[in-house]
Amino acid sequence: MYYRFDNVDDAFNLFNKMIQSYPKPSIVEFTKLLAAIVRMKHYAITVSMCSQMELLGVYWDVYSLSILVNCFCQLGQIDLGFPVLGNMLKLGVEPYVVTLSALINGWVKGIRPDIVSYNILIDAHYKDGKIFEVIDTVDTMKKQGIEPDVVTYIILVDVHCREGMVSEAKDDVGTMIKQGIEPDVVTYNILVDAHCREGMVSEAEDIVDAIIKHNIEPNVVTYSALINCHCLQNKMYKARKVFQLMIKKGCAPDIFSYNIMINGYCEAKRIDEEMELFHEISQKGPILDIVTHNTLMQVTCSFLSNGLCKCDKLEEALEVFQAMRNSKLELDIVCYNILIDGLCKSGRDCQMKHTCCLGAWEKMIQGFLRNSYTSKATLVPKEMIGTFTFTFSSLGWLFPAQSFTCQKLKQMAGLNQQLEQVVLYRSVNGMLCSILLLWHSFKPSLVDDRVFLGVSTFDKFS
């Protein structure tokens, strides 16, 4: 049985029931719940739950550990995350030294890594840009008598594709087949996408034709990659054609396909068609997500640089932003960057900036409180850099490192005297991550670690 939730709150409620029940549910039950939350891409919440489970003395197994480790990887917290894992497992080892290799090297109490553990680690190394480690881990795995499977090969194919080595990626697929591992639609999707990115459109189309002949049905990802390919070349009529073909073949467009189309129309400055499509999804399509909204904000903000209709366009972007704040959508770093960029371009309207800062503040505090990272916040020191106060905090868990955002904020702070303080956060491993803008209504004297330590201090602001 799987869990499926419409929103995180329901999952959260169930989790709270589970940790209060007696006898306490088995790790299997917890794992099913965690898996459901991971499917909703709420990695930080999952980590937080794992940490509470540890306090309850739940026994970990290779499945639950894989989920946890994967969350760290998805959060881009490879260096930071694994020590926490080590700590959680009470290995009694110095923090910052232990990594997932603890699991791989068999240091973790009797839990043997399986093919999934290895694939997660291989993928994590790859996403971290450590290609040597990718190869190394594959070797280690083989030495342990675990042979690469289709997922392992897919990562290797992806490595070659992202390095622009498309023909090498094709060779990988040949090797797979020789090893008796049948490439699946995911494998071919990577190849199709890679060819599109290299501008080899007809080759991409040939691959799709070839896989159909091999009785592999293209799926929504295959079609989306092709659609995106045409969009990137500004050939919207072709994109539309594939979009319609997909529907005709009984493959329902998902939010990705719609977002790709909408973005394509935006880039082509065909706003009418973009809005038409937007209304189409609003009525009968999948639920609009953060990317859809961000794209809408982006298209209005893109007018700002042309020096056209400055204020009303920014007003439009702010309306979208407001709608997002009122929704259950979790605002992300791209959202803030688009808005901050728009604010910079549009001059220095205080009211607008106020809206932006307040939003950033509220969302971060909400996320922070819900994820209950209070204990992590106490672990970290504080330092001053330049004219800004950099405070170390666990807010980095909410947003990954973004130096661009920080630059924009500095620019903005310089422009606006009323902005009393810009506080930039760094995660423990020293990477710039989230931003918090403190508006003048918040007393600067409260700008210290206490601000982040929980509800009691938060009350002072609300």
Partner DNA sequence: ATAGGGTTAG
Please report, as ranges, the residues that interact with DNA according to CB under 7 A: 2, 27-28, 31-32, 35, 38-39, 61-64, 66-67, 70, 74, 114-117, 119-120, 123, 149-152, 154-155, 158, 184-187, 189-190, 193, 219-222, 224-225, 228, 254-257, 259-260, 263, 289-292, 294-295, 298, 332-335, 337-338, 341, 402, 404-405
Residue burial 361-389, b: 16+ Cβ < 10 Å; e: rest: bebbbebbeebbbeebbeebeeeeeeeeb
- 105: tokens are 């090297």
Tokens of 349: 């309207």
Nearer to DNA, 64 or 393 (CB): 64
Nearest approach, Cβ of 297 to DNA (angstroms)? 9
Q: Which pair of tokens denotes residue 145?
A: 């008598």
Decide whether 319 or 383 has the Cβ nearer to DNA: 319
Give whichever of 18 and 185 is closer to DNA, judged by the CB atom: 185
Q: What are phi and psi of 438, to 5 degrees?
A: -100, 120
Residue 438 Cβ vs DNA, minimum distance, rounded to whole Å: 21
Q: Which is nearer to DNA, 380 or 406 (CB)?
A: 406
With H, G, I as helix, E, B as strand and everything else as coil, classify residue 422: strand
Cα-to-chain-centroid distance, residue 84: 20
Minimum distance of DNA from residue 142's CB (angstroms): 15
Q: How far is the CB of 39 from DNA (least distance, A)?
A: 7
Phi/psi for 424 (5° steps) reads -105, 140
**Nearest CB to DNA, comparing residues 304 and 451:** 304
74, 45 contact by CB (below 8 A): no
Q: Which is nearer to DNA, 18 or 447 (CB)?
A: 18
Which amino acid is present at 437?
A: L
CB of 154 to DNA, least distance (A): 4
Q: What is the identity of the amino acid at 335?
A: C
**CA Rg value for the chain:** 24
The least CB distance from residue 71 to DNA, in Å, is 9
Listed residue (443, 440, 392) closest to 418, CA to CA: 440
